[in-house]
């Protein structure tokens, strides 16, 4: 029995496309694009509006702080409070921006949601 290789290639292409749509695309969307949009929305809820380049830096700072604190062996509420303090301090030092603690708490919660599962 002879199998036409074009049919095998077509089936492989369909499987690869289906895998990309179901697995890879949601992963990429969740890890990169939506994080910045969610941080932007969190800041907008509290009346803050920043340019996209500054928003990206704020998002990167918050994600970096949260990642660093996840390695510590302290209670989650202490990690949360420390993250809010460190992000606030870095924003004041870097951009001279004073953001409300409530807005930073929401940003920390968003960052924690986007951390990879351990």
Identify whether 21 is part of a domain.
no
Can you tell me the distance from the alpha carbon of 2 to that of 89, in angstroms, rounded to the nearest whole number? 69
Can you tell me the distance from the alpha carbon of 83 to that of 66, in angstroms, rounded to the nearest whole number? 6
Identify whether 48 is part of a domain.
yes
Identify whether 16 is part of a domain.
no
Q: What are phi and psi of 44, to 5 degrees?
A: -65, -30
Identify whether 50 is part of a domain.
yes
Identify whether 103 is part of a domain.
yes
pLDDT, averaged in runs of 10, over the chain (118 residues)? 81 80 67 74 88 90 89 84 93 91 89 75
Q: What are phi and psi of 116, to 5 degrees?
A: -65, 145
Domains of the chain: total: 1
CA atoms within 13 A on the CB side of 65: 26
Identify whether 98 is part of a domain.
yes
**In the structure encoding, which two tokens stand for residue 31, read together?**
């890890």
| Domain coverage including residue 42 | 31-113
Distances (CA, A) of 73 to 14, 68, 69: 46, 11, 9
Identify whether 118 is part of a domain.
no
pLDDT at 33: 54
Identify whether 40 is part of a domain.
yes
């Amino acid at each position: 029995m002879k199998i036409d290789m074009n049919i095998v290639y077509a089936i492989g292409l369909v499987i690869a496309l289906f895998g990309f749509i179901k697995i890879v695309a949601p992963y990429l969307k969740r890890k990169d694009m939506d994080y910045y949009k969610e941080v932007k929305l969190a800041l907008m809820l509290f009346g803050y509006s920043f340019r996209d380049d500054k928003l990206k830096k704020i998002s990167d700072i918050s994600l970096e702080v949260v990642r660093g604190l996840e390695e510590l062996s302290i209670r989650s509420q202490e990690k949360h409070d420390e993250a809010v303090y460190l992000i606030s301090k870095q924003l004041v030092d870097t951009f001279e921006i004073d953001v409300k603690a409530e807005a930073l708490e929401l940003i920390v919660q968003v960052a924690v949601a986007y951390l990879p599962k351990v």
